[in-house]
Amino acid sequence: MFSNEYKRIKLDKQFPEDMSQEKAKELSVAKWEFIVNEISQGRDVYYDGGNSTCALCFLYNKKETSLQDVCEGCPINKKGNYYLCNRTPFMRVTQDLKKNGCLKLTHARKELAFLKSL
């Protein structure tokens, strides 16, 4: 479902339009399992693909939604009012990218564990 092209995570096929929340969680975990595996194998990841490769964002981060409702219903937001994944391990991932230019395995694993806890 995911690939690492030029050190950037890509979605190989579109998410299904009728995807359930459980399937979206499963695919979000799969994305981060893929990233952790890539980094563990010594392959750098310079970009995780952002919301275009996140199944939960596909369901809940709709462009036509007002800013105040953008994450309404997302299990990440429900877990602790984490609007746009703020205050989640994903923020450390984005800091890695800004500071080092690539993802660190430690922070990718934390993001994976967080998603599995949903």
pLDDT in tens, the chain (118 residues): 999 999 999 999 999 999 999 999 999 999 999 999 999 999 999 999 999 999 999 999 876 667 667 888 899 998 888 888 989 999 999 999 899 899 999 999 999 999 999 9
- Cross-strand pairs, 8: 5, 47
- Radius of gyration over every alpha carbon of the chain, rounded to an integer in angstroms: 14
Separation between Cα atoms, residue 30 and residue 78, nearest integer Å: 21
Sign of the CA dihedral 10, 88, 18, 70? Answer: negative
Residue 3's beta-bridge partner residues? 10
User: How many of the other CB atoms lie within 10 Å of CB of 14?
Assistant: 7
Q: pTM score, two decimals?
A: 0.93
- 28: helix, coil or strand? helix
The count of domains in the chain is 1
Say what the pLDDT of residue 69 is.
78
Print the domain residue range for 80.
Answer: 2-116
